[in-house]
Structure 1
Amino acid sequence: MSEMKYTPPRLVKARRTATSLGHRVVPVELLGFVLNFIWQALSAIPFTLKRYRAETMRAITDMTWGQGSIIVGGGTVPMLVVLGLVIGGSVGVESFATLDLISMGPVSGIVSAFANTRELAPIAAGVGFAAQAGCRITAQIGSMRISEEIDAIESLGLRSIPFVVTTRIIAGAVAIVPTFLIALILSYAACRTVIVQLHGQAAGVYDHYFYQFISGWDITAAVIKVLVFGTAVILIHSYQGFFATGGPEGVGIASGRAVRASFVAIISLDMVLTMLLWGVNSAIEFTG
């Protein structure tokens, strides 16, 4: 039988109250721990750019191209290029099929200018970045943790969070912006190809409506969205990998937990950023 701790009768209620309050404090304590980790990672960006340039460049190369493949071991460039083409083609198919019901198929360029730019392309970039780069970050940092490489880094006098996490935040910002712009352009081209080539619509009419509704602010806001998504994904996956326990199985569990958290964060941040950048009642502007 297990040994029971004696509590005086008059202290039983006080002990239960303290235990209940302790359980309520745990989430607050965890939140403070996470916020402290985020602060250490973000505030160390100037220090990292000055001291850990070589590691930052290595992280940029690895995150951008990986091993050169599209799926396994690949970087973000091949993945986002494929996603851009597929999403643009899908928007072209669905928008034309819907608008053609009311004889407005050629104005599908409006849908491409708004849907691709404001919502679909940024979300796809964030999800693709989480699935490709995020999982690798958790696996890499998690393996460093369970093999005690992070402890070895600290024993050498290096700051582990800037060296391991902040370098990847900088690399993600450098890699995702030009890659996203390439994917966005490809999504425009894919949508136009579907409307003009497959459905035989006039290219001039499509281009007219597309350029009437596309705007530089929408593209800038989309880049801001992607930067926020990428930073959130890296922080989530780095946190899960940095504090992974339980050997290889624990790293796998941390990766799954990080992916789920990343997807929820991307969708939630998208809603918040859409309201902040365009307002609750977003106006449609003509630019031509």
Structure 2
Amino acid sequence: MNTLLDPIAAIGRAVLGMLRKSGALALFALAGLSHLLRPPFYWGVFFNCLIEIAFYSLPVVALTAIFSGGVIALQSYTGFSQYHVQSAIAGIVVLAVVRELGPVLAGLMVAGRVGAAMSAEIGTMRVTDQIDALRTLSTDPMKYLVAPRLLAGALALPFLVFIADILGVMGGFTVSVSKLGFAPDAYIQATFNAVKPLDVMVGLVKAAVFGFLIALMGCYHGYTSRGGAEGVGSATTAAVVAASILLLAFDYLLTDLFFAQ
């Protein structure tokens, strides 16, 4: 009987552990958001985080967007030329970049760079008792460390995605005109005809959600890390993996919400 029940018990323990972690994460997120609504707010920490996320992530996001737009143009031409619908390439490039690839690729790049940095910074403060030291100085760690980063992530990523959208479309335009023989005026006109304000808005909404999730994962795993340097390393890895998975899951949910018929 024990042999039959052991697998069921293991599944039950895994489900309960997942629910416990999900509840702890939800409470952590609510606590961080609640501190945004109650003074004081540490504007210096917020602006430092904003610069760290938005400005220093710009080169990697820009390069990713440019080459992604060019690749989409090449791959679209390879497939569409078989059916003589090359004129649709401009619309495919702009919609793919603005709706999906801009937010998702920028989010993944920022998750790898910023999510890991946040987790490592806060995790190091945790294992070296600096967070406890903040409490002794009558400073709430959630208000000082978490709330500014959540707001900075939610505001910085839409800026990065807007730049990525422009550069991704430029990458597709450059490849289409210089390599595939498209007329510049016709390509630009087709691009403007294909994209709508709703497409840009949805991409920026996705970016805000992604930025919040990346900051949340970085802060949560760093704040709850234990076990010295090894624990900080594990927390950093967990933050990037969790942020990437949540980003893709929420990308599907938001796409289904906005574009499902």
The equivalent position to 1:38 in structure 2, one of 29, 40, 43, is 29
Letter in 2 for 1:144: M
CA separation of 1:127/1:27 partners in 2, compared to 1, >3 Å: closer, same or farther? closer
Measured at CA, do residues 134 and 187 of structure 1 come closer, stay the same or move farther in structure 2, by a change above 3 Å? same
Q: In the alignment, is the contact (CA less than 8 A) between 1:76 and 1:176 conserved in 2?
A: no
8 Å contact kept, 1:106–1:202: no
Q: Deviations over 1:49-87 (max 9, x none)?
A: x4311221222222233xxxxxxxxx2111211111111
Quote the offset at 1:189 in angstroms.
0.6
Question: What is the rounded CA distance, in whole Å, between the counterparts of 1:259 and 1:51 in structure 2?
Answer: 27
> Which gives a bigger RCO, structure 1 or 2 (Cα 8 Å, sep 6+)?
2
Change (3 A) 1:154 1:211: same
Amino acid at match of 1:88: G
Partner residue of 1:63? 53
> 2:41 & 2:185 partners in 1: Cα distance?
53
Task: Answer whether contact 1:79 1:132 (CA < 8 A) is retained.
Answer: no
How far the C-alpha of 1:145 sits from its partner, in A, is 0.6
1:228-262 residue CA offsets vs partner (Å, 9 max, x unmatched): 01111111121100011111111111111121111
d(CA) in 2 for partners of 1:28 and 1:120?
31
Q: Which amino acid aligns with 1:55?
A: V
CA shift at 1:107, angstroms? Answer: 2.3
Say how many residue pairs are matched. 251
**Residues 26 and 105 of structure 1: is their aligned pair in 2 closer, same or farther, counting only changes over 3 Å?**
closer
Q: Percent identity?
A: 26
Trace 1:137-148 onto structure 2 (pairs within 5 A). Answer: 137-148=118-129
Structure 2 unmatched runs, 5+: 1-8
Whether the 8 Å contact between 2:72 and 2:172 is mirrored in structure 1 is: yes
Query: 2:194 is matched with which residue?
Result: 213
Partner of 1:70: none
- 141-150 or 200-209, which deviates more: 200-209
SS at match of 2:26: helix
Q: Identify the residue that residue 131 of structure 1 maps to in structure 2.
A: 112
Conserved? CA contact 2:157–2:210, under 8 Å: no
Query: Counterpart in 2 of 1:224?
Result: 205
Q: TM-score, normalised by structure 1?
A: 0.82
Per the TM alignment, residue 198 of structure 1 is displaced from its structure 2 partner at its CA by 1.3
Question: Which residue is equivalent to 2:131?
Answer: 150
TM-score by length of 2: 0.90
Q: Which runs of 4+ in 1 moved over 6 A?
A: none
- Name which of 77, 80, 90 aligns with 2:71: 90
Deviations 1:92-120 (CA, angstroms, capped at 9, x unpaired): 11111211222222320010121111111
Asked if 1:99 is matched to 2:80, the reply is yes
Residue pairs, 1:171-182, within 5 angstroms: 171-182=152-163
Q: Deviations over 1:202-250 (max 9, x none)?
A: 2233223221110111000100001101111111121100011111111
**RMSD, matched Cα:** 1.9
Question: CA offset at residue 124 of structure 1?
Answer: 0.4
2:227 alignment counterpart: 246
Distance 1:25 1:46, change over 3 A: same
Q: Within 5 A, what are the aligned runs for 1:106-121?
A: 106-121=87-102
Q: Which amino acid aligns with 1:140?
A: E
Distance 1:197 1:178 in 2: 29
Aligned-pair CA distance for 1:25: 5.1
SS at match of 1:169: helix
- Name the SS for the 2:37 alignment partner: helix
